[in-house]
Structure 1
Amino acid sequence: MLRWAVTQMQAADIYFGHGTDNSYSEAQVLLAAVLHLDFTQLDQFADARLTQDERAAFAELLEQRIEQRIPAAYLVGQAWFAGLPFLVDERVLVPRSPIAELIARRFTPWLQQAPTRILDLCTGSGCIAIACAYAFPEAEVDALDISIDALSVAEQNIAYHEVEERVIPIESDLYQAIPGQRYDLIVTNPPYVDAEDMADLPAEFSHEPELGLAAGNDGLDLVRTIMREAPEHLNDQGILICEVGNSMLALIAEYPHVPFTWIEFEHGGEGVFMLSKADLVRFQHEF
């Protein structure tokens, strides 16, 4: 059944990139959900036969994946991020940020000590905020988003991971709802897709909320505000971690004198920068 699904998806030339990057992994996600198994268990039962009902359910999911171009994470209602499961649906983006690797590294070497207050801007499903809460068990995390729909999903995930006392979802247009609040770490994966890329995105992206993707002609509409207002919300040794993806080149071109630290990842991904509070203050007039 896995071989058949891989063949069907490869023949259909669908796009991968919402939690998996190949047809085999995508098929595993779908089949594991139908069989109520962890996808890591599939190899243990590779010789088992599927029942007729299981075959039908799997074929139906595969048809939706191919015909409607719905990412597997939405079809099964779950995605993995930083080694943790998260509930997802079409109210939020599918978690896939390379920031997960930074969280696993506890943001070394840029954080001088473990943060006690963390801000996750544009939290979406809450995956970054919740993963940070696991990485820093003494920290409080504010999870902000402008979308009520996204915050509803984040609240479900916060409850699922039982971190209600430390991860606080807040409706906010960027920093608007937290005047005077300061943090040791601001981490954000905001909308950053420019107009040209939005027009060319594969069909799978049409199932994600446009609010979580589009960010003006150059993809930097939100990033400018995030950088300009960050100093008012960072403690003296605080840092900003921000993902801008393909808009990295536009950001470098617009601010050639700003000393962005572009982070290299072992497991793939690019377009994530770090700026210290000192540098944000020094170049605040440019943003």
Structure 2
Amino acid sequence: MSETWTVERLIKWTADFFGEKGLESPKLDAELLLGHTLGLRRVELYMQWDRPLNPDELAAFRALIKRRVAREPVAYLTGERAFWALDFKCDSRALIPRPDTEILVERVLELVEVGGTPSILDVGCGTGCIGLTLAHEIPGAQVTLVDLSDGAVELTRENAAKHELHERVEVLKSDLMAAAPGPWDLVVSNPPYIATNEENLMDEDVLKYEPKSALFAGADGLDLIRPLAKQAFSGLNAGGWFLVEIGFSQGPKVVEILGNAGFVDVAIRKDYSGHDRVVEGQKP
């Protein structure tokens, strides 16, 4: 290619192209993919605005553009996603961490006393983003993470090693709490909670590439939350808390499920967009 493609020119061209293809965040996607190609953070791209790309870099970037237009998620293309204060390795073995899930972490940190040493179970850990973040933020915590997927268990172990938490946490394969019955001070979970009839409402990025076993949970999306609430109640110490992420329309039903399981002080926590996102309850 005879013409010169600089960082500035590529970001502008790619953002325009992604916009024409209907991607939701075209400029951000362009920056993240170019930064990944060049081994630069987003802010560093703007410090090298006039840098030309060599043919190998251009070829690698073009390949990423093609995959992104096919709706492959950016986190799978770059192999990581930021969550809270850490970067987590991401691939098709597990759901990509979402910012909305940070409200669950935030609430746990409010419940744990400074200097506390709680025992915490993360059910359906995926990448490990919830449990590993809690282990990172609460140095005295004893954290166990479980998932039914072999791939998710492997990925969580890789992320634990990445953040040098592997000697402080335990990662197990388990069907809900079967392999980790307790007792626990906190049980947290971001389980599959999408109703099967909502599949047609979902983004193509999610449906084509993220594991469906981490998304769908029966006709009303609550097929896993129902048994998990009962198991959490049985496995918690008196005074312990259960916190579970939900879909924005599921709050009242999940409040009822936790109440029927025996929890008290059941409440809904909203995410940063004002949607119902977490239901919590305490074992008396």
Deviation of 1:74 (Å): 0.5
Q: Would the aligned equivalents of 1:142 and 1:169 in 2 still touch at CA under 8 Å?
A: yes
Residue among 35, 39, 42 paired with 1:39: 42
CA RMSD of aligned residues (A): 2.2
Q: Would the aligned equivalents of 1:145 and 1:170 in 2 still touch at CA under 8 Å?
A: yes
TM-score (norm. length: structure 2): 0.87
1:72 partnered with 2:74: yes
Residues 1-287 of structure 1 mapped to structure 2, 5 A cutoff: 1-14=10-23, 16=24, 22-66=25-69, 68-104=70-106, 106-108=108-110, 110-111=111-112, 114-179=116-181, 181-205=182-206, 206-249=208-251, 251=253, 260-266=266-272, 270-278=276-284
Q: 1:71-130 CA deviation, whole Å, 9 max, x = no partner?
A: 01101111111121111111111111523244356531x445634211000001111111
Rate the CA distance shift 1:256–1:211 in 2: closer, same or farther, 3 A: closer
Q: Would the aligned equivalents of 2:80 and 2:87 in 1 still touch at CA under 8 Å?
A: yes
Q: Would the aligned equivalents of 2:249 and 2:276 in 1 still touch at CA under 8 Å?
A: no
Matches of 1:4 and 1:55, distance apart in 2? 13
Q: 1:167-197 CA deviation, whole Å, 9 max, x = no partner?
A: 1111000011123x11111111000010121
TM-score (norm. length: structure 1): 0.86
Q: 1:235-265 CA deviation, whole Å, 9 max, x = no partner?
A: 2221111001235257259659776411133
SS in 1 for 2:109: coil
Rate the CA distance shift 1:146–1:9 in 2: closer, same or farther, 3 A: same
Matches of 2:133 and 2:161, distance apart in 1? 13
Of residues 170-179 and 97-106 in structure 1, the stretch that sits farther from structure 2 once superposed is 97-106
The equivalent residue for 1:283 is: none
SS in 1 for 2:96: coil
The code of the aligned residue for 1:183 comes to W
Deviation of 1:221 (Å): 0.3
The code of the aligned residue for 2:82 comes to W
SS in 2 for 1:54: helix
SS in 1 for 2:250: helix
Deviation of 1:31 (Å): 0.8
Of residues 153-162 and 196-205 in structure 1, the stretch that sits farther from structure 2 once superposed is 196-205
Q: Would the aligned equivalents of 2:86 and 2:133 in 1 still touch at CA under 8 Å?
A: yes
The code of the aligned residue for 2:47 comes to Q
Matches of 1:166 and 1:269, distance apart in 2? 34
Identity of aligned residues (%): 32
Rate the CA distance shift 1:255–1:154 in 2: closer, same or farther, 3 A: closer
The code of the aligned residue for 2:58 comes to R
Q: Would the aligned equivalents of 1:103 and 1:135 in 2 still touch at CA under 8 Å?
A: no
Q: Would the aligned equivalents of 1:129 and 1:143 in 2 still touch at CA under 8 Å?
A: yes
Of residues 239-248 and 120-129 in structure 1, the stretch that sits farther from structure 2 once superposed is 239-248
